[in-house]
Amino acid sequence: MTAPRTDGGARPREATGPAGEAIASAPADGDVIEDLLINNRAAAEVFTNSGLGLAPARELAVVTCMDSRMDVFRILGLRNGEAHILRNAGGVITDDVIRSLCLSQRAMGTRRILLMHHTDCGLHDIAEYEFKALIEREVGVKPWWALESFKDPFDDVRQSIQRLYMSPFLAHKESIRGFVYDVDTSLLHEVRLSHR
């Protein structure tokens, strides 16, 4: 086994991973991916999750943002094998999220959907038109996708819940709940649709 690096740098506050394995901290100018490969070998040394089933044990799918501060497993007390975790910028219900949820429900038995957006999101208050116009000027092609920026995370969760209810491709809509995660307190705040 290669000894994990412990020379500080990019991640000085965390020395162990979720399973207690040693984590190499990458120096700011180091090769981050090489460091992650070292981490992987250390994690494999203490790996105990072999043999888990393909279908999520809690019949749960979580849709959330890619934000680097959100450790979904820790936030929700989930363990490997218990839920599908779908992440993108903002935790937006896109066609690809619907694709994944459709497979999750119909092929792997999930029945519950938990939406989790958050405070201080990178999509908050970005001017979509200007953002896309800037890209078009730079690369010559106008993005054909929506950035899905928003002004209020609670409204954005409502929007996502409504998109799920409107999708014809989801088999199970009886347990859909949405939340805003506070990145400063780690608490979830539930968002409800006014008419439900």
Q: Interface residues with Zn ion (CB under 5 A)? A: 65, 67, 121
By beta-carbon proximity to Zn ion, the closer residue of 67 and 148 is: 67
End-to-end alpha carbon distance in the chain: 55
The answer to whether the CB of 176 falls within 8 A of the CB of 113 is: yes
How near is the Cβ of 9 to Zn ion at its closest, in Å? 25
By beta-carbon proximity to Zn ion, the closer residue of 76 and 121 is: 121
How near is the Cβ of 153 to Zn ion at its closest, in Å? 8
By beta-carbon proximity to Zn ion, the closer residue of 41 and 189 is: 189
Alpha-carbon torsion angle 23, 24, 26, 27, nearest 10 = 130
By beta-carbon proximity to Zn ion, the closer residue of 88 and 167 is: 88
How near is the Cβ of 96 to Zn ion at its closest, in Å? 17
Nearest CA among 40, 163, 49 for reference residue 95: 163
Q: What is the DSSP letter of 26?
A: P
How near is the Cβ of 163 to Zn ion at its closest, in Å? 17
Distances in whole angstroms, Cα of residue 150 to Cα of each of 69, 91, 147, 166, 187: 19, 12, 9, 20, 21
How near is the Cβ of 119 to Zn ion at its closest, in Å? 9
By beta-carbon proximity to Zn ion, the closer residue of 24 and 121 is: 121
* CA dihedral (118, 121, 126, 131) positive or negative: negative
